[in-house]
Amino acid sequence: MEYTAAEAKELPRENASQEAAAMTNFDNSNRNTGPREIPVVKRGNYKEFINCQPSYFNGTEGVVDLIRWFERTESVFSRSKCAEEDKVTFATVKKMEDEFYNLAVKGNDLKTYIRRFQELAALCPNMVPNSEKLMEVFISGLSRSIEGNVTTSKPQTLEEAINISQRLMDQIIKRDSVQKTNDHKRKLEDERNIINNNYQNNYNNNNRKNDYHR
C-alpha cells in the first residue's frame, strides 16, 4: 500500500495514539482483576420475624401438626431473612411472648400468676410499649371474680394493680373458707337429723309391733 508524503508523516502519530489507547485498556483491565465485592445480604431482625406471623406450637398437637409447624417456622425464618444464629433466640422470645399474652390465673393461685408475669416482663421488656399497656395485660389475666373490681379501682401503676388484686383475692379466699366451714356444719347437722329421724322411726315401729302382739 502506497502512502503520500503527508500520510506517511502522520503514521507515527497514529501508531502512537493506538499504542496509548491499548495501554490504557490494559491498565483498566488489570485494575478490574482484583477481588469482586460480594453483596452483603441484609440480616433480618426480630421485628421482621414477628411481621411474618410465626405460629405457636404448645406441644399438645400430634405428629402431623408438629411437622407442619416446623415447615411453617422454616418458611418464616426464610422470609424474614433470619440468620442461623438468631433462630433459637427469636423462636424462644416468640414463645415467651405467647405465654405472656395468654397467661392467666388458675383457680385462686394469684401468687404463681404474679411471679410468672413479672419474670416474663423482665425477660422480654420490649413486649409492651409502655407501663399502661403492661398493667392492662396484667389485669386481663386475672380471674373474672376480681378483674372488674381491679379495673374499676383505676390503678396508676402495675404495683398498685398487684396490691389491689392481692387484697381482693384474700377476701375471696376468706369468704370461700367461711362458706366451706358453713357447708360442712350444715352437712353434719343434716346427717344428725337423718340419724335422729331414723332412730325415731325405728323406735315408733317397734312400739307398734309390741302393741300389736299384745
Q: Per-residue pLDDT tens for 113-172?
A: 999 999 999 888 888 889 999 999 999 999 999 999 999 999 999 999 999 999 999 999
Would residue 78 count as lying in a domain? yes
Helix intervals (H) in 32-109: 46-51, 63-79, 87-102
**Contact status, residue 168 vs residue 149, Cβ threshold 8 Å:** yes
* Residues with Cβ within 8 Å of residue 176, at least 6 apart in sequence: 108
The tens digit of pLDDT for each residue in 69-121 reads 667 777 776 766 666 766 666 677 778 888 899 999 999 999 999 999 999 99
The answer to whether residue 63 sits within a structural domain is yes
Asked if residue 90 belongs to a domain, the reply is yes
C-alpha cell at 98: 405467647
Residue 2: exposure state from Cβ atoms within 10 A (0-12, 13-18, ≥19): exposed
**Residue found under cell 440480616:** 43
The owner of cell 405457636 is 56
In a domain, 68, yes or no: yes
Residue 13 included in any domain: no
Q: Domain for residue 83, yes or no?
A: yes
What is the rounded CA–CA span in Å between residue 31 and residue 198? 114
**110 falls within a domain:** no
d(CA 46, CA 109): 33
Amino acid at 22: A
CB atoms within 10 A of CB 158: 20
- List Cβ neighbours of 94 (8 Å cut-off, separation of 6 or more): 49, 50, 54, 56
- Domain-located, residue 82: yes
pLDDT tens for 6-16 read 454 444 455 54
Query: What is the torsion angle, in degrees rounded to the nearest 10, for the CA atoms of residue 152, residue 156, residue 159 and residue 165?
Result: 0
Which whole number is the average pLDDT over 180-204?
A: 69
What's the rounded Cα separation, in Å, for the pair 185 and 14?
Answer: 123
> Which pLDDT does position 3 carry in this prediction?
47
Overall domain count for the chain: 1
Q: Which domain holds residue 78?
A: 43-94
